[in-house]
Amino acid sequence: MKKLLFAAGLALAFLMSGCGQVQEYEDRLSAVESKLEALQNQVNELNSQVALIRQLLSGKYFVQSVSDLEDGSGYSLVLVDSDGKTVEKIVRNGSDAHSPQISVKKDTDGLYYWTIDGEWMMQDGQKVRASGVDGKDGADGKDGVDGQDGLDGKDGADGLTPEIKVENGKWYYRLGDGEWILAGDAVTTVQCPIAGIDTTTKEGIVIFTLSDGTTIEVPFASAGAVKLQILVDDTVFRALEEGEEAGAPYEVKAPANLTYTLESYEPQGWTVSFSKPQDNKGTLTIGRPENSSPAKVLLIVTGDDGSCFVKVLYVGFSTPEDDTVYESESVTSASGTLDLPADASSVVIPSAAQSWISLQGNQLVLQENTTYDSRSAVITYKSGGKNHSLTITQAQKDAIVLSASTVEADSAGGSLDFVLSANVTVSAQTDQDWLQVNPPTKALTEKVFTITYEANATGNARSGHVTFSFEDISQTVTVDQPSQGGVVPVSQDFVLLEDASELLEGDQLLIVSIDGQYTMGAQAGTSSKPYRSRVSVTVQDGVISEVPEGAAVVTLEGEEGEWKLAVEGGYLSALSTGNYLKTVTSTDQYSTWSISVASNFVATILASAGESPMLCHNGASNATRFSCYKTTTSVEKVKIYRREIGSGEPSYVTQYNEPGIYLGSKTRIYTPGTDQYVRLYENNTLEFILLDPDAKEQLVLSGIDTSSQVGQQLTVGVEWKKAATSVLSKQYTMEVLKITEDMIWIGDSNGKGFIVKK
């Protein structure tokens, strides 16, 4: 009880001693808090300067102007990035008090590395670079401030920025997201890295002197350092009254030889004009109408290379409460930080932006933008006795989203529309000459590209690729195209024709004597006695591998039973009278032919009309020629050697799903409801029989190995009869093209083939 009374009495005595002692304690507490706040502000300033050093070294910013602060405590820097956007940075002077001295020093390799108290900063036994190397790939530099700023190189990932803090009276620093490293006892005055800035010693050069005596030279921003920019001193416009007009000089910063245009957007009734620039300089005049409120005027300079720069002028905002410093900063979609001035206070982040922007010390921490739309926010704060309005625009996650990874093109050539979604301007390239793309003109919106493709004249199915890209983003579409069924030869050889039903429009023919010694020549006889010469030819195993000079190559046009025999200069034609063969430019019944082939492979080529309609070879010593005759009494028929090209429309077996044969003119497909089919097995060998009982028609496909794999060769026997008549009896060696659970597709490179049901 005494203890309790004593304590109460002590408290009462303290309270009765007067407000003087209470105030003294409060003053002491306030002084400590002020020192702590001042120390934190200086720590923030140190971190800001460290970040600035790296940004200058890595080329993120160029110095546009430097001016002394009114109180002599440092400098105001106006910086411009490579896109022409400007930002103001405040740099406070360093002091002579001891604290960890953060600096950079150039090593023997010509690169800058971080130092602390004159010694190299080390991480994992290696010096820490203050910038990337040799390229633009510093996107992984983990500086907590601006990791995307590698210097000219592919290795900016190693360029880290030190971060400083004071904790429990100790200095600590860390590199990137690494562990905090003790640097010594803290003092209440911070030695900032930047001790001085010199703009006069070297023309066009800004010299930064660091606290340890190291100097860094950075070029002033020039026309070559920025893409495009317009500079205007808007002081006179801020004070522009209603009904007044004022002018101010402007200057366009632009690369040499870049053509640009100047435009403005202003409220209705306002007037804005530019004088014609001389050496990129001129006068801007703005007229403000009566009874108008202060307003923004947008100046836009656009280069013919697509670059653009926008500057906002605040006209009529002259009262102190409206005297706001307006700034803007554009950032990529990656996470990162933005520095505020060391004395920044009353920072307000809109609630809508607090999901992706937060405040840590004097840094704004930005979360990665994973959406397909850009986003922006206006941050307000006080600094240097002024209100600041900072507009942050974060780029969207760039994306190209394909509607399909593979598309099918038909063999005949044409075009197709391909739809993709993108929030960037997409370019398209192809890797094949037969593919072309018509690019379109940028939030994730649908875009239509037209893919144009040529006819497939290779004799084989083929694939090409279309790559849609934007900077380092790309997506590739495969375009598959089947063969056009013989648009060009399977090989260059002419092969003995055994079955006239295999002929296709576009095929090329050599008309050859039965003994295989001569082929029809290109030389014609006289106009009164026209015929065709003959040329020696070499036939080996039923194949002509080389077309002799002077030979007539005939191209088939039309269709079976009504063939046109095209040659150089026109078409082969029989005469109404006489045994001659002439060339005509327009076709009639005398130039319309039928072709048949006997079992001994001798061909009959017969015109639809004429006294002597049969194309034959005359081997008599006094009349060696190819011409037309009534009979073969003194002449002989011919053989045909064919190079399959076929520009008609043969079936493509892989495009169908019904069993049957797909052999051009010899096509027979199963018809549900009319036909029947039977499957006979011997081990893995299948015999597939298609029947039409009403027509007494039977088609037998034999020799099919159901255990075969795609790409395997099979020899398929075909026996096709209608009643007692044989339609087709032949064997075909083809490749397995496709297999499903119950079907097999077998075919050749021209799209002909078979489908059987397992």
**What pLDDT digit, counting tens, does each position of 642-694 carry?**
987 654 344 467 777 889 998 765 788 888 777 888 787 777 888 898 888 77
Question: What would the two tokens of residue 52 be?
Answer: 């600035």
**For strand 581-584 and strand 593-597, is the pairing parallel, antiparallel, or unpaired?**
unpaired
SS3 assignment for 12-26: HHHHHCCHHHHHHHH
d(CA 189, CA 355): 35
Task: Give Cβ neighbours of residue 749 (< 8 Å, ≥ 6 apart).
Answer: 459, 460, 461, 483, 490
Q: Which residue has the higher pLDDT, 517 or 440?
A: 517
pLDDT for res 158? 43
Quick one: average pLDDT of 188-213? 72
Cα angle 723, 724, 726; round to 5:
100
Distances from the Cα of 257 to the Cα of 302, 613, 645, angstroms: 14, 75, 55
Amino acid symbol at 276: K
- What would the two tokens of residue 654 be? 């892989």
Task: Please count the residues of the chain.
Answer: 758
466, 435 Cβ separation under 8 angstroms = yes
pTM to 2 decimal places:
0.30
Amino acid at 546: E
Residue 134 and residue 150 in contact, taking contact as beta carbons nearer than 8 Å: no
Q: N- to C-terminal Cα distance for the chain?
A: 105
Q: What average pLDDT score do residues 238-261 get?
A: 85
Q: Is the pLDDT of residue 20 over 80?
A: no
Residue 585, judged by CB atoms within 10 A of its CB (0-12, 13-18, 19+), counts as: exposed
pLDDT at residue 7 above 60? no
Residue 531 pLDDT more than 80?
yes
Mean pLDDT of 465-479: 80
Domain 323-397: CATH superfamily is Immunoglobulins (2.60.40.10)
Strand order, beta sheet including 205-210: 194-198, 205-210, 215-219
To the nearest whole percent, how much of the chain has pLDDT over 90?
Answer: 14
φ, ψ of residue 398 to 5 degrees: the values are: -70, 135
DSSP string over 688-701: EEEEETTTTEEEEE
CATH superfamily for domain 227-316: Immunoglobulins (2.60.40.10)
CATH number given to 494-643: 2.80.10.50
Q: What is the pLDDT of residues 331-348, one digit of tens each?
A: 777 788 888 888 888 899
Beta-sheet pairing, 562-567 with 570-574: antiparallel
| DSSP 8-class letter at 233 | -
Q: Which of 148-152, 197-201, 544-548, 667-671 has the highest mean pLDDT?
A: 544-548
Banded model confidence at residue 57, pLDDT cuts 50, 70, 90 = low
Type and span of the H or E element at 194:
strand 194-198
Please report the pLDDT score of residue 83 as a whole number. 52
Q: For residues 628 and 695, what is the distance between their CA atoms, to the nearest angstrom?
A: 40
Residues in contact with 354: Cβ distance below 8 Å, sequence separation at least 6, in sequence order:
none
Distance CA 482, CA 142 (A): 51
Write down the pLDDT at residue 137. Answer: 37
Fold entry, domain 653-757: Lipocalin (2.40.128)
Residue 606 banded pLDDT, cuts 50, 70, 90 = very high
- Written as six digits, the tokens of 472 are 């380092």
CA 79 – CA 680 distance, rounded (Å) = 85
- Report pLDDT for 442: 41
DSSP string, 32-73: HHHHHHHHHHHHHHHHHHHHHHHHHHTTSEEEEEEEE-TTSS
- The superfamily CATH assigns to domain 400-481 is Immunoglobulins (2.60.40.10)
pLDDT of residue 459 exceeding 70 = no
Q: Note whether 227-316 and 323-397 share their fold.
A: yes
> Across residues 743-750, what is the average pLDDT?
84
pLDDT level of residue 5 (50, 70, 90 thresholds): very low
Weakest-pLDDT range from 1-15, 120-134, 146-160, 574-588: 1-15
Which pLDDT does position 279 carry in this prediction? 83
| Local confidence band at 107 (pLDDT 50, 70, 90 cut-offs) | confident
Window from 203-212, 628-637, 725-734 with minimum mean pLDDT: 203-212
Write phi, then psi, for 751 (nearest 5 degrees): 90, -5
On the question of pLDDT at 350 being above 50, the answer is: yes
The whole-chain average pLDDT of the chain stands at: 75
pLDDT score of 671: 83
Q: Is the pLDDT of residue 422 over 50?
A: yes
Do the Cβ atoms of 531 and 625 come closer than 8 Å? yes
Is residue 8 within a helix (H) or strand (E), and if so which, with residue range? helix 2-16
Q: CA quadruple 120, 122, 125, 127: dihedral positive or negative?
A: negative
Is residue 60 pLDDT above 80, yes or no?
A: no
Give buried/exposed letters for 343-368 (b at 16+ CB in 10 A, else e): bbeebebeeebeebbebebbbbebee
Alpha carbon distance 72, 91 (integer Å): 11
Q: Is 589 helix (H, G, I), strand (E, B) or coil?
A: helix
Mapping DSSP onto H, E and C, the string for 134-192 reads EEECHHHCCCCCCCCCCCCEECHHHCCCEEEEEECCEEEEEECCCCCEEEEECCCCCCC
- At 134 the pLDDT is 37
Beta bridge partners of 185: 170
Supply the pLDDT for residue 300: 81
Q: Which residue has the higher pLDDT, 70 or 620?
A: 620
Q: Is 3 helix (H, G, I), strand (E, B) or coil?
A: helix
Q: Which residue has the higher pLDDT, 189 or 313?
A: 313
Backbone angles phi, psi at 41, to 5 degrees: -60, -40
For the chain, the domains span 37-219, 227-316, 323-397, 400-481, 494-643, 653-757
Phi, psi angle pair for 465, to nearest 5°: -130, 140
Summarize pLDDT for 87-101 with one digit per residue, the tens.
677 776 654 444 556
Q: Is the pLDDT of residue 17 over 70?
A: no
Contacts of 155 (CB under 8 A, 6+ apart): 132, 133, 134, 135, 137, 138
Q: Name the one residue in this structure whose structure tokens are 């002024």.
A: 386
How many Å is the Cα radius of gyration of the chain? 44
Of 31-35, 303-307, 677-681, which has the strongest mean pLDDT?
677-681
Residue 715 DSSP SS3: strand
**Six token digits for residue 582:** 């002439």
Transcribe 472-499 into DSSP letters: TEEEEEEEEE---SSSS-SSS-EEE---
Choice among 167-171, 405-409, 572-576, 733-737 with the minimum mean pLDDT: 167-171
Question: In the beta sheet, which residues pair with residue 186?
Answer: none
pLDDT confidence tier of residue 523, bands split at 50, 70 and 90: confident
